Amino acid sequence: MEDIEYEVEAILDKRYTIDGTEYLLKWKDSNVPTWQSKLNMGGCVELKRTYNKTKKVLVVVRDLQKQLPLPKFNPQPTDYYRKRKLYITNFGFYICNTQKMHSYVWNEYDGRKTADEIVSCMWKFAEEHILLQNVDKWIAWGDNCVAQHTCWKILFYCSWIVETGVVPKCILKALLVGHTFTMCDAFFGGIENGSYKKECFKQQDWIDIMRNSSVDAKEVHQQSFLNWDWLDEWYRKPTKDVDGEEFHDIRGYYKYVFFRQDKVCKLQLK
Question: Residues 101, 189: one domain?
Answer: yes
What total number of domains does the chain contain? 2
Looking at the domain assignment, is residue 244 inside a domain?
yes
Residue 43 belongs to domain spanning = 8-53
Strand segments, DSSP code E, in 108-248 are 135-141, 169-173, 215-219
Question: Residues 47, 146: one domain?
Answer: no
Question: Residues 108, 240: one domain?
Answer: yes
Looking at the domain assignment, is residue 1 inside a domain?
no
Please state the pTM of the whole predicted model: 0.75
- 216 contacts 228 by C-beta, under 8 angstroms: no
Q: Mind listing the pLDDT tens digit for each residue in 40-53?
A: 887 788 888 777 77
Question: Residues 69, 160: one domain?
Answer: yes
Strand partners, 219: 105
CA distance 166 to 64: 24
Question: Residues 155, 219: one domain?
Answer: yes
Strand partners, 139: 59, 171
Question: Residues 48, 176: one domain?
Answer: no
Tell me which of 82-91, 124-133, 187-196 is least confident: 82-91
Question: Residues 45, 135: one domain?
Answer: no
Q: What is the CATH number of the domain that holds 37?
A: 2.40.50.40
Question: Residues 16, 124: one domain?
Answer: no
Q: How far is CA 171 from CA 60, 73, 117, 145, in A?
A: 10, 42, 20, 17
The answer to whether residue 123 scores a pLDDT higher than 50 is yes
Q: Which position has the higher pLDDT, 236 or 60?
A: 60
Q: Mind listing the pLDDT tens digit for each residue in 217-263?
A: 999 999 999 999 888 776 655 556 556 666 555 554 566 677 776 66
Q: Tell how many helices (H) and how many strands (E) occur in the chain.
A: 7, 12
CA distance 58 to 196: 33
- 221 contacts 195 by C-beta, under 8 angstroms: no
**What pLDDT does 42 receive?**
76
Question: Residues 76, 202: one domain?
Answer: yes
Tell me which of 20-24, 196-200, 204-208 is least confident: 20-24
Helix or strand holding residue 268 (H, E): strand 263-269
